[in-house]
Structure 1
Amino acid sequence: MSGLGGLNRLSRLATVVRAGLRSNFGLAILKHRLFKEKKDRWLVPVFALAGLGVLPTLYGIVLLIKGAYAILAPMGQERALLTLGVLAGQLLILLFGIYYVISAFYFSRDLEFLIPLPLRPSEVMISKFAVIMINEYLTVAAIVLPVVVTYGVMAKGGIGYWVNAVLVYLALPVIPLALVSLLVVAMMRFINVSRKKDILILVGSIVLIVLALALQIGLGRTAGPQPSAQAVTAFFTSPDSLLNRVGSKFPPSIWATKAVAAGFSSEGPANLALLLGVSLAFFAGIVVMAEKLFYRGLIGLSETTGKKRRLTRDEMSRRVSSGRRAVAAVFGREWKIMNRTPIFLLNGVLVVVIVPVIFVLLANMGSGRGGSGGGGDLSAILKTMTSANPLFAILAAALFMTVCGSLNGTSSSTFSREGAQFWISRVIPVAPREQAAAKFLHSYLVAMLGVVTATVVAAIVLHLKAVHLAAAAGLALVAGVLLTVVGMIIDLARPLLNWTNPQKAIKQNFNVLLATLADIGILTAVFFGAKALIKAKLATTVVLGVVFLALAAAAALSFGILLRFADKRYPEIES
Structure 2
Amino acid sequence: MNKIYLLAKTFLKNRRKEKYKRNNKISSWLSKLLLFGFLIFLGIPLIGFISETYDFLASINQQGLLVNIAFSIATVVIFVFGISFVLTTFYFTKDIDILLPLPLKPYEIVSAKFITVLIYEYLTELLVLGPLLVVYGYKGSLGLGYWTISIVIFLILPIIPLVLASVLNMIIMRFTNLGKHKDTLKTIAAVFSLIIGIGVNILYRSNKVSKEKMIEMLTSGDNSLVGIVSTIFPTTNWATYSLIGKSISEIALNLILFVLASALSIAIFIFAAQKLYFKGVIGGSESFAKRKKLDKRQIEKSTKQSSKFKVYTLKEMKILFRTPVFLISCVISNLIYPILLAIGIFTNIDSYFSMATIRGFFANKEFVGIVIAMSFAIAFFIGGSNRVASTAISREGQNMYINKYIPMSYKEQIFSKLFSAIIIDMINILLIILILIFMVKIPLVMAVFILIASLLANTISSSIGIIIDINNPNLSWDNEQKAVKQNRNTFASGIISLVMSGLITFFTIRFKPDLTIASISIGAISLFIITSLFYYISTKGQKAYSKI
* Alpha-carbon spacing, 1:233–1:417, altered in 2? closer, same or farther (3 Å): same
Alignment correspondent of 2:15: 24
The answer to whether the 8 Å contact 1:79/1:243 transfers is yes
The answer to whether the 8 Å contact 1:386/1:393 transfers is no
Alignment correspondent of 1:302: 285
Alignment correspondent of 2:330: 348
Q: Distance in 2 between matches of 1:201 and 1:42?
A: 32
The answer to whether the 8 Å contact 1:83/1:246 transfers is yes
Does the alignment pair 1:483 with 2:461? yes
The residue type paired with residue 421 of structure 1 is: N
Task: Say which is worse superposed, 245-254 or 168-177, in terms of deviation.
Answer: 245-254
Does the alignment pair 1:324 with 2:312? no
What is the correspondence of 1:217-296 to structure 2 with a 5 Å cutoff?
217-223=202-208, 226-228=210-212, 232-262=215-245, 265-296=248-279
Q: Distance in 2 between matches of 1:292 and 1:378?
A: 55
The residue type paired with residue 407 of structure 1 is: S
The residue type paired with residue 513 of structure 1 is: F
Give deviations 1:65-112, integer Å, cap 9, x for gaps.
111111111111011111222222222222222332222122222222
Unpaired stretches in structure 2, ≥5 consecutive residues: none
Q: 3-state DSSP class of the match of 1:41?
A: helix
Does the alignment pair 1:442 with 2:433? no
Deviation at 1:194, TM superposition (A): 7.4
Deviation at 1:215, TM superposition (A): 2.9
Instruction: Find the partner of 2:536 among 561, 565, 575.
Output: 561
Give deviations 1:156-180, integer Å, cap 9, x for gaps.
1111110111111111211222222
The answer to whether the 8 Å contact 1:386/1:462 transfers is no
Q: Distance in 1 between matches of 2:40 and 2:359?
A: 30
The residue type paired with residue 527 of structure 2 is: A
* Alpha-carbon spacing, 1:69–1:235, altered in 2? closer, same or farther (3 Å): closer
Task: Say which is worse superposed, 291-300 or 420-429, in terms of deviation.
Answer: 291-300
Deviation at 1:484, TM superposition (A): 1.0
Alignment correspondent of 1:5: none
Q: 3-state DSSP class of the match of 1:25?
A: coil
Q: Distance in 2 between matches of 1:379 and 1:195?
A: 51
Instruction: Find the partner of 2:111 among 110, 126, 130.
Output: 126
* Alpha-carbon spacing, 1:289–1:249, altered in 2? closer, same or farther (3 Å): closer
* Alpha-carbon spacing, 1:272–1:64, altered in 2? closer, same or farther (3 Å): same
Instruction: Find the partner of 2:492 among 500, 506, 514.
Output: 514
Q: 3-state DSSP class of the match of 1:413?
A: coil
Deviation at 1:329, TM superposition (A): 2.0
Deviation at 1:395, TM superposition (A): 4.2
Give deviations 1:152-203, integer Å, cap 9, x for gaps.
1000111111011111111121122222222222233355457655334423
Q: Distance in 1 between matches of 2:246 and 2:100?
A: 44
Q: 3-state DSSP class of the match of 2:305?
A: coil
Q: Distance in 2 between matches of 1:380 and 1:60?
A: 29
Q: 3-state DSSP class of the match of 2:477?
A: coil
Q: Distance in 2 between matches of 1:210 and 1:60?
A: 30
The answer to whether the 8 Å contact 1:338/1:345 transfers is yes
Q: 3-state DSSP class of the match of 2:24?
A: coil
The answer to whether the 8 Å contact 2:374/2:504 transfers is no
Give deviations 1:105-155, integer Å, cap 9, x for gaps.
222222222222222222222222211111111123222111110111000
Q: Distance in 2 between matches of 1:360 and 1:243?
A: 29
Task: Say which is worse superposed, 80-89 or 192-201, in terms of deviation.
Answer: 192-201
Q: 3-state DSSP class of the match of 1:412?
A: coil
Does the alignment pair 1:407 with 2:382? no
Q: Distance in 2 between matches of 1:177 and 1:220?
A: 25
Deviation at 1:208, TM superposition (A): 4.0
Q: Distance in 2 between matches of 1:529 and 1:280?
A: 53
Q: Distance in 1 between matches of 2:354 and 2:280?
A: 43
What is the correspondence of 1:197-208 to structure 2 with a 5 Å cutoff?
197-208=182-193
Instruction: Find the partner of 1:547 among 522, 530, 534.
Output: 522
Instruction: Find the partner of 1:527 among 492, 505, 509.
Output: 505
The answer to whether the 8 Å contact 1:416/1:505 transfers is yes
Identity %: 24
The answer to whether the 8 Å contact 2:86/2:165 transfers is yes
- Please report the TM-score for the alignment, with normalisation by the length of structure 2: 0.89
The answer to whether the 8 Å contact 1:411/1:443 transfers is yes
* Alpha-carbon spacing, 1:408–1:562, altered in 2? closer, same or farther (3 Å): same
Q: Distance in 1 between matches of 2:353 and 2:29?
A: 39
Task: Say which is worse superposed, 215-224 or 146-155, in terms of deviation.
Answer: 215-224
* Alpha-carbon spacing, 1:162–1:42, altered in 2? closer, same or farther (3 Å): same
The residue type paired with residue 439 of structure 1 is: K
The answer to whether the 8 Å contact 2:34/2:495 transfers is no
Q: Distance in 1 between matches of 2:537 and 2:8?
A: 39
Q: Distance in 1 between matches of 2:313 and 2:85?
A: 27
The answer to whether the 8 Å contact 1:364/1:377 transfers is no
Deviation at 1:428, TM superposition (A): 1.3
Alignment correspondent of 1:452: 430
Does the alignment pair 1:425 with 2:403? yes
Q: Distance in 1 between matches of 2:226 and 2:533?
A: 49
Give deviations 1:533-553, integer Å, cap 9, x for gaps.
43xxx4343124312432333
- Please report the TM-score for the alignment, with normalisation by the length of structure 1: 0.85
Does the alignment pair 1:140 with 2:115? no
Q: 3-state DSSP class of the match of 1:411?
A: coil
The answer to whether the 8 Å contact 1:190/1:297 transfers is yes
Alignment correspondent of 1:64: 49
The residue type paired with residue 546 of structure 1 is: S
Does the alignment pair 1:504 with 2:487? no
The answer to whether the 8 Å contact 2:34/2:492 transfers is no
The residue type paired with residue 469 of structure 2 is: D
* Alpha-carbon spacing, 1:474–1:266, altered in 2? closer, same or farther (3 Å): farther
Alignment correspondent of 1:104: 89
Does the alignment pair 1:337 with 2:322? no
Q: 3-state DSSP class of the match of 1:220?
A: helix
The answer to whether the 8 Å contact 1:364/1:379 transfers is no
